[in-house]
Amino acid sequence: MTTIGFVSTRFAGSDGVSLESTKWAEILESEGHRVVWFAGVLDKPESSSMLVPEAHFTHPDSVRINGEVWGKLSRSREINNLIKSRAQFLKGKLYEFTERFDVNILIVENAVTIPMQIPLGIAITDFVAETGMPTIAHHHDFYWERTRFLIGSVRDYLEMAFPPSLPQIQHAVINSAARDQLAWRKGISSMIVPNVIDFDMKPRPSDPSAVRKSIGLDEDDILILQPTRVVPRKGIEHAISVVGRLKDPRCKLIISHESGDEGDAYLSALIDSAQASNVDLRLVTTVVPEVVDGVEQPLPAGSIGLWDLYTAADLVTYPSLYEGFGNALLEAFYYKVPVLINRYSIYIQDIEPKGFRTISMDGYVTPEVIDGVKNILKDKKLRREIVDHNFQIAGKFFGHPILRRRLQTLLINVMGTD
C-alpha cells in the first residue's frame, strides 16, 4: 500500500485548495492508497494527520515575514535569518511527518505556488532535494497572478521554491494559461488537472420552498444567486446592473458569501449601486458543515448551506473578471441552474469550447444579455433543455472519472509502474 502525504498551509473549510484536495484524497483512497495530512490548520482525523501551527500563513512569524518583504526591495538581516530558521524548523517537521506515517509520495497543495508561507515553500523544496521523495506539486494560483506579490524583496526565494524545478517533482495545474506561464517563466512542464465535481453523486436533500421562505422571499419571487465571495474580481456590479435592467420587483439578488479578509469597501460600493439601481440585494450567510475527526456534521437548526441556495435559485450570475478555474460555475451545472457568465479568460480557453450553453457577456451588459435572461426565466422548457445539456457536458469533461485518470498518470510519472 502506498502512503501519500498531502502538505499545505491549510486543509480545512471551503477554500478551493481544501475542497479539491479532499476530492483527490477520496479518489486515491478508493484506489487503495493511504492518505495522511500535514498543515497549519486541519479538520482531518488526528490518527492520519500532523498539525504544525507554524505552517499556517496566519502564524505570527509568517505574518511578520510577509509584512517585511512585500512591497519592498530589500530585506533586513533579521528577517532573512527568521525566514531561514523557520524553514529549517518546518523541514524538520516534514522529516518527522514522513517518518511517522512512512510516506512514499508527497502531494504539495499550493504551498510552492503562492508565497503566503515563504518558509514552508523553502522547507518543502529543501526536503525534496535532500530526500529525492517522489512529489506532485498541485498548483492553484501562482504568485505572478496576484498584484500584491509583484513587488518584494524575496525574488531569490521565489525563483528557488515557487515552484522549484526538481527532477523528483511532477507539476499539475488547473488551467491551460497556468501551464503556458509555468513553461514560459520557469521552463517547467506540467499536466492540466481541472477542478471537478462528482456528477454521479446525488445532491444533498433540500427544500427549496423552505429555503426561499427562510430568507424572506415570496412564492413568486425570482431568486438570482451570486455564489461567490464579495471581492472586486467577482464583478458583482454587473449582476446588479442585470437585475436593475430587468425592472422586475420579483427579482432578488442573493450573495452567498461574505467579504472575507479583503475588507468591506467593495461591499459598501455594491450596496450603494444596488440602492441607486433599485435592486433588492441580500447577503445570506451560508454555513459550511463542521468536520469532526474527518466526519461532516449536520448543520445547526435554521442555518443554510450553499447547496440550499443552488437548489432554490432560478438563475446564477457569474460575472467574474478573472478566475483560476471556476468552481461555482461547475456547481451551477451540477445543481442544474442556468448561468449568466462574463467570459473570463480561463472560461474562454478551457471551459466554453466543451459546448456549454450559457447567457454570455464580454465585460459589459447588452440588451441581448437582458433578453437572454428574460427568456430563460420565463421559458421553463428552454431552461430544462439548457441545464440538462450543461449537466451532461460537465459530467463528461469535469467529473470524477477525469480526475481519476489524471491522478493515475501523475502517480505513474513519479513512481513508475509495478
Domain ranges across the chain: 3-196+400-415, 208-397
The whole-angstrom separation of Cα 164 and Cα 160 is 6
H and E: helices and strands count for the chain = 15, 17
The size of the chain, in residues, is 418
| DSSP annotation of 163 | S
Residue 221, pLDDT score: 95
Low-confidence stretches of the chain (pLDDT < 50) are: none
- Residue 146 gets the label, from left (phi > 0), alpha (psi -120 to 50) or beta, of beta
The whole-angstrom separation of Cα 278 and Cα 39 is 46
The whole-angstrom separation of Cα 179 and Cα 161 is 17
Residue 15, pLDDT score: 81
Residue 302, pLDDT score: 67
Measured CA distances, 252 to 110, 179, 217, 316 (Å): 37, 39, 8, 12
Fold topology of 3-196+400-415? Rossmann fold (3.40.50)
Show Cβ contacts of residue 147 under 8 Å, excluding neighbours closer than 6 positions. none
Question: Which superfamily, per CATH, for 208-397?
Answer: Glycogen Phosphorylase B; (3.40.50.2000)
Other beta carbons less than 10 A from residue 57's beta carbon: 19
Residue 417, pLDDT score: 75
- pTM value? 0.89
Q: Which residue, among 193, 175, 191, has the nearest Cα to 27 in the 3D structure?
A: 193
